[in-house]
Amino acid sequence: MTNPLLADFATPFDTAPFHLIKNEHFLPAINEAIHLAKDDIARIKSESLPTFENTIEALDRSGKKLGVISTIFFNLNSAETNDEIQKLAREISPLLTDHANDILLDQVLFQRVALIFEEKDTLNLSAEESTLLEKTYKSFIRNGAKLTGEDADKLRQIDQKLAQLSLKFGENVLAETNKYVHFVENEEDLDGLPDGIKEAAAQIAEEKGRSGQWAFTLDYPSYIPAMTYAKNRELRKTLYLAYNTKASKGDELDNQETIKNLLQLRHDRARLLGYASHADFVLEERMAKSPKTVLDFLDNFLQKAKPKAEADVREVADYAQKLEGLETLERWDFGYYSELLKKEKYALDDELLRPFFRLEKVVDGVFQTAEKLFGITFTPNSDISAYHPDVTAYEAKDRDGKHLAVFYADFFPRAGKRNGAWMTSYKGQFSEDGIDSRPHISIVCNFTKPTKSKPSLLTFNEVTTLFHEFGHALHGMLARGTYESLSGTSVFWDFVELPSQIFENWCYEKECLDLFAEHYQTGEKIPAELIEKIKNAANYQQGYLTLRQVSFGLLDMAFHSTDPGQITDLRAFEEEVMKKTDLLPKVPGTMMSTGFSHIFQGGYSSGYYSYKWAEVLEADAFELFLEKGVFDQETALSFEKNVLSAGGSEHPSILYQRFRGRDPKPEALLKRSGLISA
Ligand SMILES: [Zn+2]
C-alpha cells in the first residue's frame, strides 16, 4: 500500500485526500518528506556559482512536499484531533524544528546566501525578489548563522532554556488555574447570573463531587460571566483575588523568578545577535520597525484615551453609587456595574439580534460582500474531500470566472476541535514556470449549533468573527505572488490583522446588512434603529478599553526594552509601569505579569501593541471606503491589488502607502472610538 500523503493526490485541484489519510500515514510521510527536503538543500549546495535563482529562489521552492504534509497534519491537530494525533505531534514537532535548524545553521548554505546578499545592489532584482533575498538572509542571521564557536553554543543553550522557561510559565499558570475551585452552597448567592451560567456552575460542582451546589473556576467561561453578572460582591471579590494572584504566591508555582530569567535570556540572546534589546530584535521585522515608534504610538493613545477612560470609570462609579449606595468602586465591581449600565443605556442583547443572523444567510452575506467588492463567487463542490462531515468545501472563482482557490468552511464545535476561530491554509499560493498554483484556504469556527427546533442563529459577535476570519481568508485566496514564503498572509505580524479587521466593518453597514440580515421566521429586514444601537454599543467604554490595552502594551514594552539587570523587584516594577494607567484602587498582593501568557508563553513579546496598531490601519483604511462608498469598485480594486494580492512581497509601509496615498494616521480610529471629536 502506498502512503496517500506521498503519492500524487490525484484529486480535484490537487486537494488533500482526506478520505484516504489515516493517522499511521503521518510519521513515515513526514520522515520521507524531510528526506526529500534535504535532497533539495543538497542540490542547492552542489551548484557551482551561487545566484539568486539557484540559491534564494531555489530555497523558497525547496521542501514543498514537507510543507504540504506538515500543514495537513497540524491543521488537523487543531480542527479534528485525537489522542493519537496529539501523541504524534509531540514526536513530529522536534523533527521539524531540527530540520529547520539544520538548514539555518548550515554554514555552506549561509555563505551562498550571504554572498548574494552582499551583491544585492548589482543584481537588478525586482521589489519582490529583493524582499525574498532580504528575508532569507535575515532568517539566517536572526537564527545565529553568523555566530561561531562559543557564541554559537551559547545561543543554542539560550534557545533551549527559553523554550523550557516558556513551557514552565504556562504550566504554572495552568496548574494554578486547574487547582482552584470556589463552591457556592446557597442559590441566592448566584443572583444576577443567567440560567445557562448557573447550569454550567452546577455541572462543575457535580464533576467535583458536590452535587446540588455550584462551582466557579478561573477558566474564562466560568470566571468572566461570574465577574460580569454576579450580584454578590463577596463572590466577585473572592474570584477576583484568586484570578489576580495566580502564580505569584511565593510557592513552587510562582512565576516571578521564571519571568526574570526569561527576560534576562531574551536580552542576552538579542545582544548576542547584535541588537540593543529584545524589543529591537523583534521589531526589526515588524511594520513598526523600532521600540521608539511603538512607545510614541502607545503614548499618543494614552494621552487621548485617559480623560475619556476617567469619565468612563466615573460614570460607572456614579451609577453604582446611585443604584446601591456603593462608596468605593473596586476592581471586582467594575465589570458588574458596567454591564448593568450598558443594558440600561442600549437595551441590546444577543437574544434580540440572533433571529436576524441565521448562519446560512450570514455565510451567503459574506460571499455576496466578497462578490460585490472583488467579484469572487463560491460554489460548493462535493467532489472535494473534507476531513469531517461538518466541513463544506467550495470552489472560488475570480471576476473573470477563472479558478481562484479552494475554500473549506468548518463552523461547529466538536470534541476534536480547539476553542476559538481561525483561518489557515492547506496549500499556499505561488507561481512557477508561468503557472499560477492556487491556494487552499480554510476557516474554522465554534459557532452556535442548530438544534431540533432552531437553525444555527449567531450572536452579533459570531457574525463579526465570521467576517474577521473571512477577511484573513480573502488575503489567502486573492494572493498573487511568485514566492510561497511571501504570499498571502505571510506578512509582518502587525500587518496581518488589517484584512481581517477591516472586513468586520462591513457588518456595521446597513448596505451590507441588508444583503443578509433578516428574521429567520418573518423575513423582516433588520431595523435601522437596531443597527444604530449595535454601533453605539460597540463604542461603549472605548476610553477605558483603550487605556487597558495601552497599559498591557506599555508593560510589555517596558519588560523588553529595559536592561533586565535593573528589574530586581518584579512586583514593584509592574506597579511603577502600571501607575500611569491605573484608574481603580490598586489591590494589595495582586499582579498581572505572572499570568501574562501572551508575552511570556505565547509569541506576543514586544508585540502586544499590534492589536491597537492593526485597529489604526483598519479604521484608517476603511475611512476611504466610507468616503467613496463601502462597495466602491475603485477603492476595492486598489485594496485588492495593493494589500490583499500583494502579501508580503514588499514592506507593509510601502504597500499601505500605495493603497492610501499616505502613511496610516490614528485619527480615524480615535474618532470612531470617540476619543477625539468627529
Ligand atoms: Zn485575526
SS in 3 state form for 36-71?
HHHHHHHHHHHCCCCCHHHHHHHHHHCCHHHHHHHH
CA of 641 to the centre of ligand 1 (A): 20
Supply the pLDDT for residue 374: 98
Quick: pLDDT tens for 523-536.
999 999 999 999 99
Give how far Cα 636 sits from Cα of 111, 159, 489, 546, Å.
43, 44, 18, 29
Supply the pLDDT for residue 373: 98
Cβ neighbours, 10 Å, residue 94: 9
- Bridge partners (DSSP) of residue 377 are 397
CA of 603 to the centre of ligand 1 (A): 14
CA of 409 to the centre of ligand 1 (A): 16
**Stated pTM of the model:** 0.93
Residue 469 annotated as catalytic: yes
Contact 40, 62 (CB under 8 A): yes
CA of 503 to the centre of ligand 1 (A): 11
The torsion angles phi and psi of 29, rounded to 5 degrees, stand at: -65, -40
Place of cell 511568485: 482
Quick: pLDDT tens for 85-101.
999 998 999 999 999 99
Supply the pLDDT for residue 324: 95
Given a cut of 50, the residues of the chain with pLDDT beneath it are: none
Supply the pLDDT for residue 582: 95
Contact 217, 246 (CB under 8 A): no
Q: Which residues touch 502 (CB under 8 Å, ≥6 apart)?
A: 471, 617, 618, 621, 622, 639
Quick: pLDDT tens for 170-209.
999 999 999 999 999 999 999 999 998 899 999 999 999 9
- Bridge partners (DSSP) of residue 358 are 457
Locate all alpha helices (DSSP H) within 273-375, ordered by sequence.
278-283, 291-324, 331-346, 350-353, 359-374
Supply the pLDDT for residue 455: 93
| 327: nearest Cα among 337, 340, 317, 335 | 317
Residues with CB under 5 A from ligand 1 (ion): 500
Supply the pLDDT for residue 452: 86
What is the rounded distance in angstroms from the CA atom of residue 446 to the CA atom of residue 153? Answer: 44
CA of 57 to the centre of ligand 1 (A): 29
CA of 496 to the centre of ligand 1 (A): 7
> Is the four-CA dihedral 628, 634, 637, 642 of positive or negative sign?
negative
Supply the pLDDT for residue 573: 97
Beta pairing class for 440-444 and 403-410: parallel
The three cell numbers locating residue 507: 457588518
Question: Which of these is catalytic: 57, 80, 462, 469?
Answer: 469
CA of 674 to the centre of ligand 1 (A): 24
